[in-house]
Amino acid sequence: MNFELISTDSGSNARAGKITTAHGTIETPIFMPVGTVGSVKAVTQEQVRDDVQAQIILGNTYHLYLRPGLEVLSLAGGLHKFNGWERPILTDSGGYQVFSLAANRKIKEEGVVFQSHIDGSKHLFTPENVMDIQRTIGADIIMAFDECPPYPSEYRYARKSMDLTHRWLDRCIQRLKDTRPAYGHEQTLFPIVQGSTYKDLRKASAEYIASRGAAGNAIGGLSVGEPENEMYEMCGLVTEILPKDKPRYLMGVGTPWNILENIALGVDMFDCVMPTRNGRNGMLFTWNGVINIRNKKWATDFNPIDANSECFATRDYSRAYLRHLFVAGEILGMTLASIHNLAFYLELVKEARRQILAGTFAAWKTGMVQQLKTR
Ligand SMILES: CNc1nc2cc3c(cc2[nH]1)N=C(N)NC3
């Protein structure tokens, strides 16, 4: 994997870049739609590619390992062949899902014992086998196995957890040296900065992660319930330390305004379930704020969300009709809202990139953040 830093904004730490992977290039800043079990919920791969214009999507090691499982994925020739998404894929390591989803998990030095949220079966994730699982899935970018401490965490717990995450990272790196890609294409490891919301721990973790010399670096353990200003403070601390010539990936973030604020702090990659999960519930993001389409006030508004949009879901359906679909519980409502929200997130980061290349991002961001929050 290669990262080309093309330009940095004049009035902020925002960057425009290009990532090259075995399955194609990614222009940063980028938003990555979440496709947890190998599909972006309610949206076909063709719509994700052509209407959303996504350049990379996410999968989850925890979910894919449990279902469809490694045998199916291996026999398919990896996730790209299995789900037909031919562009880049990033898989999260399970570090977060094992803590947010699994039952009865026990953390040991060796790894995490947990029970499947699907059938209660017992499993063990270790840095080594999580690397092997991600080899079998075949994602272009794979995440280190980390512990994601809950928010808030006691200082002592956060420090112990950070140290464990660092030891697990070294085991991930070693395992990848001892194994090969399963399908011939290169796979790149991103380590994950932890340290909860403690400034000294975040700095120590950023230093440690930076010292590993990885091709990209992730910031984890944020967007887990902490106030927005703490997220921004921790992110700013970390991006000051991470190498400038490698992409920075802020995991699980966020709202449109969170994304713009963190782009200004020097983050290049984002993923979040909000455009899809909240979209399926009628929360629509627009340039002029958030619409709750179930609200009665849209019942006779026969305008589309945005008549000038390139995206059909945004341009060709009225707010009244979208509201009707949600009130009636029609599946089409979830599909249209998901496509609209994802296309909006991709358009947002595309416009941010334009502004960065023009050197006008900082001023544009200040006004746009307010505009995105209205309604
Ligand atoms: C929704 N917020 C969120 N914070 C995260 C933090 C992490 C993550 C996923 C996240 N999602 N995956 C990891 N492997 N570790 C850190």
pLDDT (tens digit per residue) in 162-191: 999 999 999 999 999 999 999 999 999 999
* Angle 244-246-252 from CA coordinates, rounded to 5°: 105
Q: What is the pLDDT of residue 7?
A: 97
Model confidence pLDDT, tens digit, residues 36-62: 999 999 999 999 999 999 999 999 999
**β-strands 269-271, 30-32: how paired?**
parallel
Q: What is the pLDDT of residues 65-89, one digit of tens each?
A: 999 999 999 999 999 999 999 999 9
Tokens of 262: 């963190």
The token pair that represents 36 in the structure block: 């947890």
C-alpha 118/C-alpha 103 separation (Å) is 10
- Decide if 214 contacts 246 (C-beta within 8 A): yes
Cβ proximity of 250 and 269 under 8 Å = yes
How many Å apart are CA 18 and CA 230, to the nearest integer?
Answer: 29
How far, in Å, from the CA of 220 to the mean position of ligand 1? 5
Average pLDDT over residues 292-308: 98
Q: How far is the CA of 152 from the centre of ligand 1 (A)?
A: 15
Q: Tokens 């029609």 sit at which residue?
A: 330
- Nearest residue by C-alpha to atom 7 in ligand 1: 220
3 CA → ligand 1 middle, Å? 23
Instruction: Decide if the complex's ipTM is over 0.95.
Output: yes
Distance CA 216, CA 2 (A): 9
Number of helices followed by number of strands (H, E) in the chain: 14, 17
Ligand 1: residue whose CA is nearest its atom 11: 252
Q: Which residues contact 52 (CB under 8 A, 6 or more apart)?
A: 33, 40, 43, 311, 339, 342, 343, 346
Q: Are 54 and 27 in contact (CB under 8 A)?
A: no
3-state helix, strand, coil in the chain (%, to 5): 45, 20, 35
CA gap 113, 107 in Å, rounded: 7
CA 62 from centroid of its chain's CA atoms: 15
Work out the average pLDDT over 5-27.
Answer: 97
Q: How far apart are the first and last CA of the chain?
A: 41
DSSP bridge pairs for 21: 24
Task: Give 257: exposed, middle or buried? Use CB within 10 Å, 0-12, 13-18, 19+.
Answer: middle
Closest CA to ligand 1's atom 12? 96
Looking at residue 348, its pLDDT comes to: 98
Q: Could you tell me if 338 and 367 are in contact, meaning their C-beta atoms sit under 8 angstroms apart?
A: no
Centre of ligand 1 from the C-alpha of residue 250, in Å: 8
Ligand 1 atom 3, closest CA: 252
Residue with token string 């709202």: 255
Cis peptide before 149 (omega within 30 of 0): no
Give nearest CA residue, ligand 1 atom 16: 220
Q: What is the pLDDT of residue 103?
A: 83
Q: What percent of the chain has pLDDT over 90?
A: 97
What span, in angstroms and rounded, lies between the C-alpha atoms of 41 and 123? 26
Query: Helix H segments across the chain?
Result: 45-50, 61-66, 70-76, 79-83, 97-100, 127-137, 155-178, 199-211, 228-241, 256-264, 312-315, 319-327, 331-358, 361-373
List residues with catalytic annotation.
92, 271
Q: How much distance in Å is there from the Cα of 235 to the middle of ligand 1?
A: 14
Q: Give the span between the Cα atoms of 25 and 21, in whole angstroms.
A: 6
* pLDDT tens sequence across 115-160: 999 999 999 999 999 999 999 999 999 999 999 999 999 999 999 9
**Mutational test site, ligand 1, from 92, 143, 219, 276, max ligand atoms within 8 Å of CB:** 92
10 Å CB burial of residue 208 (0-12, 13-18, 19+) is buried
Mutate to test the pocket of ligand 1, among 189, 190, 223 (most ligand atoms within 8 A of CB): 223
Largest CA distance in the chain: 62
Residue-level pLDDT at 99: 85
Residue 256 Cα distances to 34, 181, 232, 288, angstroms:
15, 35, 14, 11
Ligand 1, CB cutoff 6 Å, lining residues: 92-93, 95-96, 143, 146, 148, 192, 220-221, 223-224, 251-252
